[in-house]
C-alpha cells in the first residue's frame, strides 16, 4: 500500500512539474470549520468502542466537530489534483490526517457530446447524493444518513476510476447520461464495523490509516474471533485482489438526477493477517434527487448488500445481510434551510457464531434547521432520534432495545 501511495504521489508531482511552466493552472483552497455543542442520552459512542449509535459519548460536549481543508489545482490540459485533510477535537478521538488525495483528468467533449474522465488515488466511490459540499460534508444536516455515515467510516480505497459521459446540450437535450467503472485495493476489512456496531448516525470521516475501536464483543475474548485485533484497520490490503465498482447516472437539468451501481471489494474471506480479517463485502444501491415545488429538494437512497468473513478453513464466522434507506426533504428560502430525514435500516445475522449476534433493526429521524448569518457562515440546530433493536447489546449487559436521542447546535463556516 505504501509503495502504491508513493508511486501515485510521484505521478502527481511529475504531472504538476511538467505542466506548471507551460500551462495555466487554477488553484482553489476551501474548507469548513464546524464548532458544535452536543447532548445525547445514548450509550458510549461507537467511536469510543461502545454500542451507542451517535458519534459523541453521552451527556454534553463542546467540540471541533470538523476542521476540513480542500486544495484543488486545475490545469488547462484537463489534469486536476485534489487533496482533502480533516481534523477533529471532539473529546472522543482527536486526530488530524488525510481523507482524500487523487489525480484526475477530464477531457474536452467530442463533437457529438461524449467526454472521457479518469481519477486515481485515495477517494470515495461516487455514491452519495447527500455529502456534496466542501470536504465531503453535507449542506443539509449535521449528522449524515446511516448510509453515508458508513461510507465515511469504512468505504474508501486506493483506486482507478474511468468514466464516460454524454452531454445532452450537444444534441439540444436536457439530459446527461454517464457510466463509471472503478477498480481498487486497500479496503479488505470493509464490513467489520457495520457488523460489530451496526448502522450509526455520524459526521466523522475516518482518516487514512486511522484505526477504529471495537466494542467488547464476547467472541473476541477466547471465542471464534480471538484472532481479531481489538481495533479494525478499514483501509487495508490483505489478499492482493482487485475490487470493482460499476455505476451509472442520469441528470435532467433543472429537474433532478439519479444514480445506481454495484460495489464488490472481491476480498478473500478466508484471509487473516496481523489480527485483521478480510471481509467479502458487496452491495447494490440506487438513489435520486428531485426538485419539487416551493424550492424543496427530495433526496432518497437505498442500499442492499451482504458481507462474509470466514475462518482459514472456510467456516462462516460472520455472515450478514444488510440494508438501509432514507428519504430527505429540504427547503431553502432566503437565509433559512429546514431539513427532515427519515430512515430504515437493518442487519440479518445468518451465521452460528456464539456470542456474536449482529442482528439489528431500526429507524432514524432527523430534523435540522440552518440560518445563514453571512456568506459562508451558518448557525445550525439539529435533533436526531434512533430507535433500534440490537441483540448484541444483551451480551454486553444492556437492553436489546434502545431509544437514543441527540441535540446539536453548530456554528459552521465554509470558506
pLDDT at 7: 44
Contacts of 391 (CB under 8 A, 6+ apart): 349, 357, 358, 359, 360, 400
Q: Model confidence at 8, in pLDDT bands (50, 70, 90)? A: very low
Question: Residues 34, 55: contact at Cβ < 8 Å?
Answer: no
Mean pLDDT over 77-85 rounds to 97
Mean pLDDT over 133-155 rounds to 98
Question: Residues 154, 194: contact at Cβ < 8 Å?
Answer: yes
Mean pLDDT over 177-181 rounds to 98
pLDDT at 408: 98
Flag whether pLDDT at 6 surpasses 50: no
pLDDT at 19: 46
Q: Is 255 exposed, middle or buried (0-12, 13-18, 19+ CB in 10 A)?
A: exposed
Flag whether pLDDT at 54 surpasses 60: yes
The pTM of the full predicted model, rounded to 2 decimals, is: 0.93
Flag whether pLDDT at 359 surpasses 60: yes
Mean pLDDT over 317-343 rounds to 98
> 131 - beta bridge partners?
none
Flag whether pLDDT at 274 surpasses 60: yes
pLDDT at 221: 85
> 326 - beta bridge partners?
301, 343
Grid cell at residue 379 = 448557525
- pLDDT tens, residue by residue, 284-313: 999 999 999 999 999 999 999 999 999 999
> Which element (helix H / strand E) includes 58?
none
Grid cell at residue 212 = 477504529
Grid cell at residue 115 = 467526454
- On the CB side of 288, CA atoms within 13 Å amount to 10
Please tell me which residue, 11 or 267, carries the higher pLDDT value.
267
pLDDT at 224: 83
Mean pLDDT over 257-270 rounds to 98
Write down the mean pLDDT value for the chain: 94
Q: What is the maximum span of the chain, computed from C-alpha positions, in angstroms?
A: 66
pLDDT at 151: 98
Mean pLDDT over 336-365 rounds to 97
Residue in 332, 353, 348 with CA at minimum distance from that of residue 395: 353
Flag whether pLDDT at 148 surpasses 70: yes
Amino acid at each position: 500500500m505504501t509503495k502504491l501511495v508513493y508511486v501515485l504521489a510521484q505521478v502527481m508531482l511529475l504531472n504538476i512539474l511538467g505542466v506548471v511552466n507551460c500551462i495555466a493552472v487554477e488553484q482553489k483552497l476551501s474548507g469548513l470549520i464546524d464548532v458544535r455543542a452536543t447532548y445525547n442520552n445514548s450509550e458510549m459512542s461507537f467511536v469510543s468502542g461502545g454500542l451507542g449509535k451517535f458519534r459523541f459519548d453521552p451527556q454534553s460536549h463542546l467540540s471541533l466537530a470538523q476542521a476540513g481543508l480542500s486544495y484543488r489545482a486545475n490545469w488547462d490540459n484537463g489534469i486536476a489534483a485534489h487533496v482533502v485533510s480533516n481534523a477533529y477535537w471532539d473529546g472522543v478521538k482527536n486526530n488530524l490526517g488525510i481523507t482524500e488525495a487523487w489525480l484526475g483528468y477530464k477531457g474536452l467533449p467530442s463533437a457529438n457530446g461524449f467526454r472521457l474522465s479518469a481519477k486515481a488515488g485515495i477517494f470515495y466511490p461516487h455514491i452519495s447524493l447527500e455529502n456534496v459540499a466542501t470536504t465531503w460534508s453535507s449542506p443539509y444536516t449535521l449528522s449524515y444518513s446511516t448510509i453515508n455515515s458508513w461510507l465515511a467510516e469504512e468505504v474508501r480505497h486506493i483506486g482507478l476510476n474511468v468514466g464516460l459521459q454524454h452531454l445532452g446540450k450537444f444534441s439540444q437535450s436536457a439530459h446527461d447520461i454517464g457510466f463509471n467503472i472503478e477498480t481498487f485495493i486497500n479496503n479488505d476489512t470493509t464490513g467489520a464495523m457495520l457488523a460489530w456496531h451496526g448502522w450509526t448516525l455520524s459526521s466523522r470521516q475516518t482518516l487514512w490509516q486511522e484505526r477504529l475501536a471495537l466494542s467488547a464483543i464476547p467472541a473476541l475474548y477466547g471465542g471464534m474471533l480471538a484472532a481479531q485485533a481489538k481495533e479494525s484497520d478499514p483501509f487495508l490490503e490483505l489478499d492482493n485482489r482487485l475490487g470493482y465498482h460499476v455505476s451509472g447516472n442520469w441528470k435532467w437539468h433543472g429537474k433532478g438526477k439519479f444514480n445506481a451501481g454495484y460495489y464488490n471489494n472481491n476480498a478473500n474471506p478466508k484471509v487473516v493477517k496481523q489480527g485483521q480479517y478480510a471481509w467479502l463485502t458487496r452491495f447494490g444501491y440506487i438513489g435520486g434527487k428531485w426538485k419539487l415545488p416551493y424550492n424543496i429538494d427530495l433526496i432518497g437512497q437505498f442500499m442492499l448488500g451482504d458481507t462474509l468473513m470466514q475462518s482459514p478453513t472456510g467456516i462462516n464466522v460472520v455472515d450478514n445481510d444488510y440494508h438501509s434507506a432514507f428519504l430527505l426533504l429540504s427547503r431553502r428560502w432566503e437565509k433559512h434551510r429546514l431539513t427532515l430525514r427519515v430512515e430504515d435500516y437493518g442487519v440479518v445475522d445468518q451465521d452460528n457464531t456464539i456470542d456474536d449476534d449482529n442482528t439489528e433493526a431500526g429507524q432514524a429521524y432527523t430534523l435540522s434547521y440552518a440560518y445563514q448569518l453571512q456568506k459562508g457562515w451558518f448557525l445550525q440546530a439539529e435533533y436526531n432520534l434512533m430507535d433500534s433493536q440490537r441483540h448484541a447489546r444483551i451480551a454486553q449487559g444492556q437492553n436489546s432495545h434502545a431509544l437514543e436521542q441527540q441535540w446539536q447546535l453548530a456554528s459552521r463556516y465554509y470558506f
